[in-house]
Amino acid sequence: MDNTTEKKNPLTELMRSTMDKVHAMADTNTIVGQPITTPDGVTLIPISKISFGFGGGGGDYGKNANTNFGGGAGAGVKIDPVAFLVIKDGTTRMLPVAAAPMNTVDRIVDIAPEIVDKVEKIIDKKKEKETL
34-59 pLDDT, tens per residue?
899 989 889 999 998 888 787 888 87
Per-residue DSSP letters for 13-74? HHHHHHHHHHHHHSSHHHHB---EE-TTS-EEEEEEEEEEEEEEEEEEE-SSTT-EEEEEEE
Through-space distance between the first and last CA atoms of the chain, rounded to whole angstroms: 88
Q: Write the burial class of residue 10 (CB in 10 Å: 0-12 exposed, 13-18 middle, 19+ buried).
A: middle
68-105 pLDDT, tens per residue?
878 888 777 788 888 999 998 888 888 888 766 667 77
Under 8 Å between Cβ of 57 and 72: yes
Residues of the chain above pLDDT 70, percent = 84
Residue 2 has pLDDT above 60, yes or no: no
Indicate the DSSP class of residue 99.
P
Name the residue type at position 1: M
Band (pLDDT 50/70/90 cuts) for residue 1 is very low
